Amino acid sequence: MIDNETKIKLEDLNLDLLLTLDNRTLVIQKNNVSYHFKFHSKVNSNNLVVFSNGALNRNKKDAPFFSRFTWAREFNANSLYIDDPTIHDSHLTVGWGVGEKDNYYLKEISEIIDKITKLLNIKNNNIIFFGSSAGGFMSIMLSIFKKRSLAIANNPQIWIRKDTQKNRAENLYNSAFPNMSEKEIAENYGDRLSVLKMMEEYNYIPNIVYVLNRYSNKDFKEQYLPFVEYIDNIDNTNDSIELLLYHSDKGHGGIYPRAKTIQLINKYLDLRNPSYNFNTKKFNTFKMYDNNNNYIESMRVNDNTLYLPVKYLKKDFSCVLEKRFESKKGTLKIELINKYLNAKGSGYLQYEIVKNSKTILIEDISKWPFQNQIYLHNLQQNDIILIRIRTLKNCEANSWSKASRTEILNIVELTKSIEYNSPASFSSPYSVQTQE
């Protein structure tokens, strides 16, 4: 056994082992096949995001591998990363979970996920499958197996055919189904090779967010249009399928940007599990402080928004919202957004998260006009948390008051007692953690 692996039979898998994996790879034995996973636990979350791999670049790494594992801390969910053993001990770079003649690996992986979700007490409607390219194909397939789950698929394949995947499809056919013609493979294993056929077999259209690069003609013509044509001939799919178009001149390889993908996944986690997130803490006042941190006055608001009034646009003046942590211990989730974006506006204003007089996180407000999900970990009862907007220099234009407007979308206490190595995590790529 490799030092950073934990190997176990599926029937012996238990919750304690799952929650104490840290960064070790979990190797589960099922029907004489080793299935490799990475798992990241998220405090007090009953959500799960499952990531599938696209193609492997064997010049850079070898199997097993786990795409996007470094993203794990960004989600208000547990994260599971799956490796496809179809490409193990072979020259294949992508396997689409097809497996071998007598063993459909992706279905086996789905059954392992069933065991994991039962241990974590996670319902299907709280599961999101995500992947791009071949990983998108696998994510849609897994969402067919797990009814009421959601697949978010970026430039996915919807079928595996020689006329669209060419050498990769031929190599897979030769490896998984030796000595069989393409016609024989299609007749006997067609459901493994086509999202459309699998949907027919299960008589089920899963919930899908189809994320497509409009500038990838190959994806648009060979994958998306046939998919839409199939869906358009089926009744009652309006609520099941959503399309998100974006534009990248990198074609199929021009995947949706990391920050936007994280934001997208978190958005759907929130939408599909409102009991977890939509209990916003309203506030109607915040406090103003001068450059010596002396209290000036309290400001009244009715829209959950912090801002710096024009008369206080002076260096090191600040507006502050204070929150006392009420639970015995746990994590505080703060969701906020400042919609100002200006490349020339850097260095004027920043928002800060402060714990017991120590600044934990800062971000220049000019960088990121999207929602930032911030988690403050390892908090104790009566810890004082400040959300603060501060001027970094004198702001002469009155428009800086509008630019400072930062909406507090949500503040939630999460009380599960897991200790984290880091005091904070966040979804914005421009947030800077100031305390280790």
CATH 3.40.1620 fits 285-433, yes or no: no
DSSP E strand boundaries for 372-428:
372-380, 384-391, 406-414, 424-426
Query: How many residues are given for the chain?
Result: 436
Q: Residue 242: what pLDDT?
A: 87
pLDDT of residue 277: 37
Range list for CATH 2.60.120 in the chain: 285-433
Which CATH architecture group holds 5-277?
3-Layer(aba) Sandwich (3.40)
Structure confidence by residue, pLDDT tens digits, 247-279: 899 988 899 999 899 989 988 887 776 544 333
Cα dihedral sign, 371-376-380-384:
negative
Q: How far apart are CA 154 and CA 52, in angstroms?
A: 11
The Cα 403–Cα 299 span in angstroms is 17
pLDDT value of residue 261: 93
Which pLDDT does position 279 carry in this prediction? 39
pLDDT at position 232 is 84
Series of mean pLDDT values for 10-residue runs along the chain (436 residues): 79 90 90 95 86 88 90 89 94 93 96 95 95 96 96 95 86 92 92 95 94 92 92 71 90 90 87 50 84 94 90 96 90 91 94 96 94 90 96 94 93 72 86 83
Which helix (H) or strand (E) segment holds residue 211: the answer is strand 207-213
According to CATH, where is 3.40.50.1820 located in the chain? 5-277
CA-closest candidate to residue 169, choices 193, 138, 140, 204? 193
Give the 3-state secondary structure of 320-365.
Answer: EEEEECCCCEEEEEEEEECCCCCHHHCCCEEEEEEECCEEEEEEEC
In a 10 Å sphere around its CB, with 0-12 CB exposed, 13-18 middle and 19+ buried, how is residue 130 labelled? Answer: buried
Distances (CA, A) of 295 to 173, 290, 319: 72, 7, 10
What is the Cα–Cα distance from 83 to 112, expressed in whole angstroms?
Answer: 12
Residues with Cβ within 8 Å of 401's Cβ and at least 6 positions away in sequence, in order, are: 307, 308, 309, 310, 313
Residue 243: strand pairing partners: 210
Token code pair at residue 74: 């960004």
Nearest one of 37, 43, 33 to 6, comparing CA atoms: 37
* Interaxial angle between packed helices 134-145 and 195-202, expressed in degrees from 0 to 180 and rounded to the nearest 10: 0
